[in-house]
Amino acid sequence: MCPRCRSLDWHEQRLAGTGSLYSYAVLHHPRSPRFDYPVLVALVDLDEGVRIVTNLVGIEPGAVRIGMRLSVEFEPTSDGGTVPVFRPDAHTAAPA
Amino acid sequence: MTRTHVLARDAAAIAGIGQTEFSRHAGRTELQLASEAIVAACADAHVDVGEVDGLVSYTIDPVEESELVRSVGLQEIGYSARVPYGGGGSMGVLLHAAAAVAAGVADLVVAYRAVRARSGATRFGDAKVAANVANTHAGTTASQWCTPHGALTPASWIALNATRYMHQYGTTSEDFGRAVVQLRAYAATNPDAWGYQRPITLADHQASRWIAEPCIRMFDCCQETDGAIALVITSRERAATIANPAVAIAAVAGAGLFEQEIASDHYRPDLSVMDSSVVLARRLFDDAGFRRDEIGLAMIYDAFSPILLMQLEALGFCGFGEANDFVRDGNLAADGALPCNTNGGLIGEGYIHGLNMVTEAVRQIRGTAANQLPAVDVALVSASRTGAILTRT
């Protein structure tokens, strides 16, 4: 149910797939065989206002900056699914 | 009547406390651990176990009530309840027990928690690859959004909040480490503690391996522990007839907020603030009529060290972003402004999911703690979204 209007009338909404990094963590331990470590897990605030848990790709942990602009990609999971992950936009850096 | 969301002042009292040893391999079932703790708590309260007429525990506790009734020989149970939200909800057991006593539906309530967080079928800190909605060891349904991305543990979930907190205020891993050094100093002189006779330095903390960078090192984590604790709660009047000094549940409250999850709590607007603790503090201090400078002991839920600092701020003991300086200035020490987690906390003593915060507060008020403070008249216990103020009766 929508917690604001209590509607049950659901529909899919296409999102731009862009957002900014709200927070992150570089996970070292414990390790699951399903993932490559360290795991770069992130909270991304999508431009439409939704916050999601995701991963960052295409960046070294030491270069991650909160606030950096990100765009979505899709990656396969170890069990045959697909998940959204985010890559930093090449030309953007974190806001000063 | 005015609704304040805080139970009427002095509705009930803690008449007895009991526990097993805290270990990494209890070698017996949670049912037996709970039974042993309950018998010990009733002995401490000088009441017959068979008189217990109320049972309160956590939704995730594995000890089922009818098994417990049969195990320890309870005769007529009038009230049973379980509280949600995992360790954050742990002080809900005091709220339920005190409310049941105040309402007259039970006279002698036992609150219990039994865990084999280390030797049990599922280690608490293990990587969980599948969300299990029936078991909040695995977080809430929100964890279904975490597991596909490798955020599989409580440490990994909390780390996302803690990194944002560090970013917001410039708090560092060393700042967390200073709190841990204090906790381990307390634990080092507490024979019940996992950290007994094992103090650490800040350098030790900084050398401990990363669990979740940049906020949680190994020494920032509580210890997976086997053990059980039981508390006997009754009316102030009955407690006053008991030999051991009773400890009043002077105020007790909870504060669960919209879109707040359990450990995988990532959807509140500002994750640098533990805003349920802000509400909790309003209820315990403003609504119940206590002042922060009355608090002689603070027991603050420290499953991971960042949430200790974040609660110090949210509860109003220092300003937002100032917990690093508050800790650095020695305020958590026995001679500080706010002696805190004097048993070593969940990090130093063990992780009985919050109930060992209550046993320590009771001992400090009675004057029987391992690291006894000169005199404690008023203690705060904060599990972040539930909490209580305990006082000398």
A30, B125: Cβ pair inside 8 Å?
A: yes
User: Residues, chain A, total?
Assistant: 96
pLDDT in tens, B377-392: 999 999 999 999 999 9
Number of domains in chain A: 1
Inform me whether the pLDDT recorded for B175 exceeds 60: yes
Structural domain contains residue B153:
no
Region B325-336: mean pLDDT is: 98
Question: Quick check: A25 contacting B, CB < 8 Å?
Answer: yes
Asked whether residue B200 is domain-assigned, the answer is no
Q: Is residue A96 part of a domain?
A: no
Helix, strand, coil shares of chain B as percentages rounded to 5? 40, 20, 45
State how far the Cα of B40 lies from the Cα of B230, in Å rounded to an integer. Answer: 8
Residues of B in contact with A39 (CB under 8 A): 149-151
Which residue range is the domain that position B71 belongs to?
Answer: 12-120+222-392
The three-point CA angle B347-B351-B355 to 5° equals 115
Q: Is residue B138 part of a domain?
A: no
- At B165, the pLDDT band (50, 70, 90 cuts) reads very high
Residue B214: cis peptide before it, omega within 30 degrees of 0? yes
Nearest to B213 among A28, A54, A66 (CB): A28
**Range of A62's domain?**
18-88
> Has residue A1 got a pLDDT over 80?
yes
Restricting to A residues 30-49, those with a Cβ less than 8 Å away from any Cβ of B are 30-32, 34-35, 38-39, 41-43
Query: What span, in angstroms and rounded, lies between the C-alpha atoms of B51 and B234?
Result: 11
pLDDT for the residue numbered A91: 63
Show residues of chain B in contact with A38, CB under 8 Å: 213
Tally of domains within chain B: 1
> What's the mean pLDDT when you consider all of chain B?
93
Q: What interface predicted TM-score (ipTM) does this complex get?
A: 0.94
Instruction: Determine which of A4, A27, A75, A85 to mutate to test the interface with B (most B C-beta atoms within 10 Å).
Output: A27
Question: Mean per-residue pLDDT for A63-74?
Answer: 98
Asked if the structure places residue B159 within a domain, the reply is no
Quote the pTM value: 0.95
* Residue A26 located in a structural domain: yes
* Mean pLDDT in residue range B344-349: 98
**Number of neighbours of residue B237 by Cβ within 10 angstroms:** 10
pLDDT at position B227 is 97
pLDDT of residue B126: 77
Q: Is residue B379 part of a domain?
A: yes
Within-domain flag for B310: yes
In CATH, what number is assigned to the domain containing residue B54?
3.40.47.10
pLDDT (tens digit, 9 = 90+) per residue, B7-65?
877 789 999 999 999 999 999 999 999 999 999 999 999 999 999 999 999 999 999 99
pLDDT per residue over B237-272, tens digit each? Answer: 999 888 678 899 999 999 999 999 888 899 999 999
